[in-house]
Amino acid sequence: MYLDHRITVKIARILDMIDFSALLLDYNGNVILPEGDSRTLTMPKELLQNPTMPFVYGGVTLIGAGEEQPVFICLHGDSEDVKKCAILCAELLNMMIREDMGHTSREQALRLILRGESEGAELESLASEHEIPMEGNRCVLYFYFQDMEVESAIQLMSDAMDSDADLITEVGHQAVAMLKAVDEDADFAEIEEYANAFESSLLTETGNTVFIGISDPRPDLSGIPEAFAEARKAINVGRVYHPARRVFLYRNLLLERFLSDVSPELGADYNARIFNRKTARLFNDEMIHTIETFFDNSLNLSETARKLYIHRNTLVYRLEKVQHAIGLDLRNFDDAVTFKMMMLLGKGDNNRKLRL
């Protein structure tokens, strides 16, 4: 279940008035409140099977609120007073959630569509009620604002929208999703240019950073949940393998998506075949920057040397040092691909901690 910012503010006020230490958790055990707490707690199976009954677990009392994929209140303590308080809080949350769901706005309807919580006839009814066309080629842009309140972000995005057909809604405490209309022969260069322009403008005007994931297009609303997942994954994968970038196209991350599916243990094992104690001095920051620049310039020696402000012979010397140490000639396409894959596999350990 998704709780928008208005509801979480109200819940935070309730939890602040409780004498016991309190957390609000989602169905997977991720802490929603207090904000900034990034812990994930283990959710007992017994609690998930019967979420409306107080459950004592490891010195805390948990209880759920809401129907499908409920949220959970976690109070420190296991006394009868704590249990009664947990039940009261859950009832208050249930009232707030039912009231919110009873007045579905266009933004809330869009969230239900993006998250796949409305299907079939219900989806058609929801789309009709809020004048969201069922048919139409659209992709999802996922905006994750690192240091900015979502209300301010939405206002900025509303001002920057270039089409009345585009729709935006809050999808997290620091995240906004845009349903963007595109032509059937969509020019992704234009969409990427739009995203880059917004990212650059935000950084220049406010000093804030935004990460943007762009999905493949879908011809109707039924495919939008899959597009929403693609846009999120584009950021999750892109931040790991391209930390200097801020805009990520799902379709351009095929190799990176493949590598992200490799287990961290296997990836670390292969990465260590090249990057180990023996080669640590060779592969310092300068050498890695040299190699990455060489790859970014399609193995072009002259262009790479120009970008690095070094002589072409200096670049050749560095590449020959690599060849001597590990047996791979990075001027050869096959060897360059092998090296890059081994290098990228070493970044897999960052996958989990950078995930949205």
Q: Give the model's confidence band at 92: pLDDT under 50 very low, under 70 low, under 90 confident, else very high.
A: confident
Q: Is residue 12 part of a domain?
A: yes
The yes-or-no verdict on residue 310 having pLDDT over 90 is yes
Q: Which two tokens stand for residue 220?
A: 């109707």
Length of the chain: 356
For the entire predicted model, the pTM comes to: 0.69
How far, in Å, CA of 259 to CA of 226, rounded? Answer: 20
How far, in Å, CA of 252 to CA of 235, rounded? Answer: 12
Instruction: Looking at the structure, tell me whether residues 34 and 74 fall in a common domain.
Output: yes
How far, in Å, CA of 203 to CA of 216, rounded? Answer: 26
Instruction: Looking at the structure, tell me whether residues 82 and 172 fall in a common domain.
Output: no
Share of the chain above pLDDT 90, in %: 44
Instruction: Looking at the structure, tell me whether residues 267 and 303 fall in a common domain.
Output: yes
Q: What is the pLDDT of residue 337?
A: 93
Largest CA distance in the chain: 78
Check residues 291 and 38 and name the one with the higher pLDDT.
291
Instruction: Looking at the structure, tell me whether residues 211 and 152 fall in a common domain.
Output: yes
The single residue listed with the structure tokens 């199976």 is: 45
Does residue 210 sit in helix, strand or coil?
A: strand
Instruction: Looking at the structure, tell me whether residues 175 and 238 fall in a common domain.
Output: yes
Cβ–Cβ under 8 Å, residues 171 and 2? yes
Cβ–Cβ under 8 Å, residues 209 and 111? no
Domain boundary among 255, 289, 318: 255
Q: Is residue 113 part of a domain?
A: no
Split into its structural domains, the chain has a count of 3
Question: What CATH number did the domain enclosing 33 receive?
Answer: 3.30.450
Q: Give the model's confidence band at 103: pLDDT under 50 very low, under 70 low, under 90 confident, else very high.
A: low
Domain range for 153 is 135-255
Domain boundary among 86, 101, 116: 101
The yes-or-no verdict on residue 290 having pLDDT over 90 is yes
The single residue listed with the structure tokens 């929208």 is: 161
Question: What CATH number did the domain enclosing 140 receive?
Answer: 3.30.70.270
Instruction: Looking at the structure, tell me whether residues 73 and 19 fall in a common domain.
Output: yes
Instruction: Looking at the structure, tell me whether residues 151 and 251 fall in a common domain.
Output: yes
